């Protein structure tokens, strides 16, 4: 139907007749001429209609935005040159215009960005905007580059089921009533975890899948009911091989899609070090601020909250230096404290170092009075504080201090403009195997119950569960966990021992994971893998904070598709067929 | 962990030390030697352990099938050469054996093919068999070749939602109760049809997706609850462009995966011609038998069922020539008649031509007595009957005769060994737009309600709905419909008219398809597409009748996953969270 894409018409075509298809971007009707831009996914080109062609002129004069046209005409040089676009030196003198479809009652115009609800309801209009086309096409390129790399290396792209078994571990499952089995349900997979492990036991050696996963959780800005991960698994590997392989893949896709060269190799950092230096297991290395432990200096100060936690076996007291922020107002500091409070802080002590040569006089802080001179100096030295700096302090249980001071660090990085323009990947390793769940009175798995512990000895694991380290690893990029994986348990006795430590009874384990235990006992090879969040990586590459910008038809935070109107009520007869009914309101 | 794949160890490695990982295929313990085959996905290699290494010999003597090992040893020439396999001229003299995992209580051995229920329950063992590895890897290669071709041509791989809106048209939907919207439900998509059309309206121009689709229908041997299709859509095209493009793609993948060159171009045949000649809209062209209309010869015969349908406006009377089948027994013919009965035949008249030179004496048939000589000769001539042939006859309503005589044709092709060893693709085109549903007293769409009619004029379509032809097309290969598509309606007034003809009220159309009608009115381009059944194409390529052989974790015909035990009963509390309960039995 067309000879060219609109956005690719340039000087090389001058004098030629072209046929273009697209949408009217903007029309300007003058007394003897109509100009309009015709748009497709490659860009726009200016079309000109002269009044000496009365029939054509009448059609052109009637055109509105988003009318869908086919235009045939001759390419010619243009008077007013626009060097910002490829087609800016030419225009097309129209000879024929077919109006394929009119756009009537438009809710908004393509150059506008209305509220997100309107954008989602009329998603096709939203997606026509060049910015949305660019972001979606970034995602498409990412996936294409990943597949090309994987296919070239013998990874097998294998589909696993969407209708599978409910596993009431982890997040909440989406349920699907079974018509042929009254009272029974399928569940949508939270990930293909067990299937990919089974594939390794089935001899597929190297697996990948761009897999849809489902979690029925409250939606945050960066979560969707369904999301996409690059799921991978390798047989006969250790963590070094998985990490080396997939970081090569990530370097490849950043080179292909972004023309960016990432570090080679990625730095490795233990979970303990990441928490200690950055208060986070997904540290944003673009920010050069670090937490500084000062417990040793404040064990005997009069400021109770410091002294108490400095002497507590599971406490932490840290300082964070905010360079050149001594000029911050009380209001700015209060805002920072409010931010910290969201992450569990009870308060946020601060100190402004105005002029160290003045001693105490040069220090402005509500808590300085609790410190003797030696302590004050020790703290300032530990922080490397310079005149003009603001210091912020956190004290409390170790994990809580990490959480809120890590959050303070990120906000400071942003507020102080100290986020480097770069891509800073790293591996975080040596995660704890278990976390103690106070409420449930039992251990929970930090990764998942199939992650191998670093020790091979079951007695050792049981004796030292609280400090056991797993063979899990996360890939972190600019403060985002973009991938997570582990070497898996491949011995049935170890898997049973871990279920046991997690408080899963033998009966429960058999009922839920019997097929896994059986498979492990039928000659399972050592194996491990990883999963990458495609939506998140695409959003990072596209330069947007919202994964909804890289998902063509996302759900709202209230779990609705505004375009189609899903979910929707159904006829009770339809429910009866699958043997359920709704509860009364 | 390994230096080589087992199946790739050959003479070039003689004298070298290799490390191999895999499963014990078969072990033979002799007094001074243990031989076993180690297997991975590339094949097997023979390992030898000598008794002069007592520790190793003891381990080797204890090995059982499917034990999972890592073996290090030296490659050497072998005495008894096996030229059937790549590794048949070498063996590996083991120096070290790590038993990674034992296989205990095996339900079957990898060289066996037990019943399908056992295979599906222990799918990982089933999939380890070389034949299953071959079939699965054929599917993987197919998908890889499709993607490579599509990516190179600018098709955009775009994901559409799995949690979407119920559309009580077509097949039965799988339902998913919404937790955040009590009493409301998502549905799993039967296909991404409307989303892909919307993507064309959103400016993506060329789309594809390897898409999971869901239909809650009774399972037949070749159906699954969830299945995979290559879904494609093009903006600004007519049917010739879609067909030319995708047949090029299919030729490409057959060349890549099967080293087979398909016809170029594929033959085109109208629906009417396909029904007339083959009694099927998916004719298997490998069989050289055709239906022959004989109504004109039997309008006034005494055999009532022939005469009646020969004179009926919607009747059909056909003959089918079975070459050299006059020797068939009564039992064989009865079996054929029973087969025809499954497809709606009331009976299957037959005639054996033993010796035409003998006139009536040379004919053996219970119905010949109803024909005068001229009629008999006319029928024999029309069929081109030769001595030794069997003729089979069908009479009845047009569609019914097509159905059962088409089925008889396929069975004859098989029974007579007349199925050519070849790949015979074709396009079937010019389908009826509507079928009249007697029961519902209304038209139903033969493809789907978004398929464009061949006529552009709404009044014409309404006046001639019964004989209206659509712009749909099917790709057929060796009697299988492997792809189906159409040019879609892109004008809102035409879409409304078609809904109207299908008995869908304005209110109902707005409720179900309001967003589509609105999108069509906002500048929708002409567009069309197609979807290919990946499971079916992979099964054809792998040479298996069952799509379950190319799906790693299929469901049974009773909709169960025997490995994981899905579907399963759930705790009522879990159901309460999504606002449903099960009906009492």
Query: What sections of B98-256 are H helices per DSSP?
Result: 116-121, 123-128, 130-152, 193-201, 239-253
First vs last C-alpha separation in chain B = 55
d(CA B166, CA B162) in angstroms, rounded, equals: 11
Residue A140 has what pLDDT? 98
Indicate the SS3 state at residue B569. strand
d(CA B155, CA B31) in angstroms, rounded, equals: 63
pTM confidence score: 0.95
For B207-219, the pLDDT digits (tens) are: 999 999 999 987 7
Residue A74 has what pLDDT? 97
Neighbours of A150 (CB within 10 A): 24
If you compute the radius of gyration of chain A from its CA atoms, what whole number of angstroms results? 30
Asked if the C-beta of B62 comes within 8 angstroms of chain A's C-beta atoms, the answer is no
Nearest-CB residue to B564 (from A128, A180, A515): A515
Q: What is the Cβ-side half-sphere exposure of residue B54, based on CA atoms within 13 angstroms?
A: 0
The per-residue DSSP string of A466-483 comes to GG-BBSEEEEEETTEEEE
d(CA B64, CA B289) in angstroms, rounded, equals: 54
Nearest Cα of chain B lies from the Cα of A396 at a distance, in angstroms, of 36
Residue B113 has what pLDDT? 80
Residue B249 has what pLDDT? 98
Instruction: Put residue B117 in one of left, alpha, beta given phi > 0 → left and psi -120 to 50 → alpha.
Output: alpha
Neighbours of A67 (CB within 10 A): 23
d(CA B189, CA B175) in angstroms, rounded, equals: 10
For B295-319, the pLDDT digits (tens) are: 999 999 999 999 999 999 999 999 9
d(CA B114, CA B106) in angstroms, rounded, equals: 12
d(CA A37, CA A378) in angstroms, rounded, equals: 68
> Which positions 445-504 of B are in contact with A (Cβ < 8 Å)?
490-491
DSSP E strands, A13-147: 17-29, 33-40, 43-50, 68-77, 90-101
Backbone angles phi, psi at A407, to 5 degrees: -65, -40
C-alpha distances (whole Å) from B379 to each of B298, B351, B360, B407 are: 9, 11, 13, 21
The per-residue DSSP string of B54-82 comes to HHHHHHHHT--TT-EEEEEEEEEE-SS--
For B67-99, the pLDDT digits (tens) are: 999 999 999 999 889 999 999 999 999 999 999
Residue A110 has what pLDDT? 66
Q: Which residues of A are less than 8 Å from B148 in CB distance? A: 151
Asked if the C-beta of A422 comes within 8 angstroms of chain B's C-beta atoms, the answer is no
Q: Which domains, and CATH codes, for chain A? A: 6-101 (2.40.50.140), 287-415 (3.30.1360.30)
What dihedral do alpha carbons A46, A51, A54, A59 form, nearest 10°? 30
Instruction: Put residue A513 in one of left, alpha, beta given phi > 0 → left and psi -120 to 50 → alpha.
Output: alpha
Asked if residue B10 lies in contact with residue B43, where contact means CB atoms within 8 angstroms, the answer is no
Q: What is the Cβ-side half-sphere exposure of residue A230, based on CA atoms within 13 angstroms?
A: 24
Residue B585 has what pLDDT? 52
C-alpha distances (whole Å) from B212 to each of B190, B231, B402, B471, B563 are: 9, 10, 33, 25, 21
Nearest one of A440, A509, A437, A435 to A470, comparing CA atoms: A435
Give Dmax (Cα) for chain A.
94
Asked if the C-beta of B8 comes within 8 angstroms of chain A's C-beta atoms, the answer is no
d(CA B431, CA B196) in angstroms, rounded, equals: 22
Residues 6 or more apart whose CB falls under 8 angstroms from that of B563 comprise A198, A515, B120, B121, B122, B123, B553
Asked if residue A579 lies in contact with residue A182, where contact means CB atoms within 8 angstroms, the answer is yes
Give the ipTM of the model, two decimals please.
0.95
Q: What is the full per-residue pLDDT of chain A (585 aa) written as tens digits?
A: 899 999 999 999 999 999 999 999 988 988 899 999 999 999 999 999 999 999 999 999 999 999 999 999 999 999 889 999 999 999 999 999 999 999 999 998 767 788 999 999 999 999 999 999 999 999 999 999 999 999 999 999 999 999 999 876 678 999 999 999 999 999 999 999 999 999 999 999 999 999 999 999 877 667 899 999 999 999 999 999 999 999 999 999 999 999 999 999 999 999 999 999 999 999 999 999 999 999 999 999 999 999 999 999 999 999 999 999 999 999 999 999 999 999 999 999 999 999 999 999 999 999 999 999 999 999 999 999 999 999 999 999 999 999 999 999 999 999 999 999 999 999 999 999 999 888 888 899 988 999 999 999 999 999 999 999 999 999 999 999 999 999 999 999 999 999 999 999 999 999 889 999 999 999 999 999 999 999 999 999 999 999 999 999 999 999 999 999 999 999 999 999 999 999 975
Nearest one of B28, B25, B132, B106 to B68, comparing CA atoms: B25
Q: Which residue on chain A is closest to B576 by alpha carbon?
A: A583
Distance of CA B412 to the CA centre of its chain: 21
Nearest-CB residue to A523 (from B66, B164, B565): B66
Residue B26 confidence (pLDDT) above 90 = no
A217 in a known ligand binding site: yes
Confidence label for B523 from pLDDT (cuts 50, 70 and 90): very high
Backbone angles phi, psi at A234, to 5 degrees: -125, 140
DSSP E strands, A78-142: 90-101
Asked if residue B533 lies in contact with residue B485, where contact means CB atoms within 8 angstroms, the answer is no
Q: Which residue on chain B is closest to A139 by alpha carbon?
A: B158
d(CA B472, CA A484) in angstroms, rounded, equals: 46
DSSP state, B221?
T
Residue B221 has what pLDDT? 65
Interchain pair B176, A182: CB under 8 A: no
Residue B168 has what pLDDT? 62
Nearest one of B369, B374, B396 to B291, comparing CA atoms: B396
d(CA A202, CA B535) in angstroms, rounded, equals: 20
Token pair belonging to B126: 């089933």
For B93-128, the pLDDT digits (tens) are: 999 999 999 999 999 876 778 899 999 999 999 999
């Amino acid at each position: 139907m067309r000879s060219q894409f609109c956005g690719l018409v340039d000087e090389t075509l001058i004098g030629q007749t072209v046929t273009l298809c697209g949408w009217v971007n903007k029309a300007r009707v003058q007394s003897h001429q109509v100009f309009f831009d015709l748009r497709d996914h490659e860009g726009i080109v200016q079309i000109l209609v002269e009044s000496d062609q009365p029939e054509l002129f009448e059609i052109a004069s009637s055109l509105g935005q988003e009318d869908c046209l086919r235009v045939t005409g001759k390419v010619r040089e243009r008077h007013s040159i626009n060097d910002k676009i490829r087609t800016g030196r030419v225009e097309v003198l129209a000879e024929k215009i077919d109006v394929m479809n009119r756009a009537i009652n438009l809710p908004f115009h393509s150059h506008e960005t209305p509220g997100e609800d309107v954008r989602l309801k009329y998603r096709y209009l939203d997606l026509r905007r060049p910015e949305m086309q660019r972001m979606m096409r970034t995602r498409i390129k990412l996936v294409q580059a990943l597949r090309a790399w994987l296919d070239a290396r013998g990874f097998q792209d294998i589909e696993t089921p969407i209708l599978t078994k409910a596993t009431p571990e982890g997040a909440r499952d989406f349920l699907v009533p079974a018509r042929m089995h009254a009272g029974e349900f399928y569940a949508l997979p939270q990930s293909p975890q067990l299937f990919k492990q089974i594939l390794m036991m089935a001899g597929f050696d190297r697996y990948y899948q761009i897999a849809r996963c489902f979690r029925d959780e409250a939606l945050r800005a960066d979560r969707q009911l369904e999301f996409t991960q690059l799921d991978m698994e390798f047989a006969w590997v250790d963590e070094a091989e998985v990490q080396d392989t997939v970081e090569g893949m990530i370097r490849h896709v950043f080179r292909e899609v972004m023309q960016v060269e990432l570090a080679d190799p990625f730095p490795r950092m233990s979970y303990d070090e990441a928490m200690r230096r950055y208060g986070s297991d997904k540290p944003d290395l673009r920010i050069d601020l670090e937490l500084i432990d000062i417990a040793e200096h404040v064990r005997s100060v009069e400021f109770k909250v410091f002294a108490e936690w400095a002497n507590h076996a599971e406490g932490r007291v840290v300082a964070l230096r905010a360079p050149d922020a001594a000029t911050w107002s009380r209001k700015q500091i209060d805002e920072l404290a409010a931010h910290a409070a969201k992450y569990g802080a009870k308060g946020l002590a601060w100190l402004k170092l105005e002029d160290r040569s003045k001693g105490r006089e040069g220090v402005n802080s509500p808590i300085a009075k609790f410190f003797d001179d030696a302590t004050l100096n020790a703290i300032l030295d530990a922080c490397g504080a310079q005149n003009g700096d603001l210091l912020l302090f956190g004290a409390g249980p170790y994990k809580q201090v990490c959480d809120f001071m890590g959050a303070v660090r990120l906000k400071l990085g942003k507020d102080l403009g100290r986020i480097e323009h770069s891509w800073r990947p790293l591996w975080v390793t040596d995660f704890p195997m278990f976390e103690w769940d106070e409420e449930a009175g039992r251990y929970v798995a930090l990764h998942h119950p199939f992650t191998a512990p670093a020790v091979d000895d079951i007695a050792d694991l049981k004796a030292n569960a609280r400090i056991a380290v797993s063979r899990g690893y996360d890939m972190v990029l600019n403060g985002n966990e973009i991938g997570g994986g582990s070497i898996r348990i491949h011995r049935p006795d170890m898997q049973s021992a871990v279920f046991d430590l997690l408080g899963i009874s033998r009966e429960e384990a058999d009922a839920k994971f019997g097929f896994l235990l059986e498979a492990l006992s039928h000659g399972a090879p050592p194996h491990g893998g990883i999963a990458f969040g495609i939506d998140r990586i695409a959003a990072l590459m596209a330069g947007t904070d919202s994964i909804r910008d890289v998902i063509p038809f996302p759900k709202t935070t209230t779990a609705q598709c505004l375009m189609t109107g899903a979910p929707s009520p159904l006829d009770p007869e339809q429910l009866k067929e699958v043997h359920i009914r709704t509860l009364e309101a």
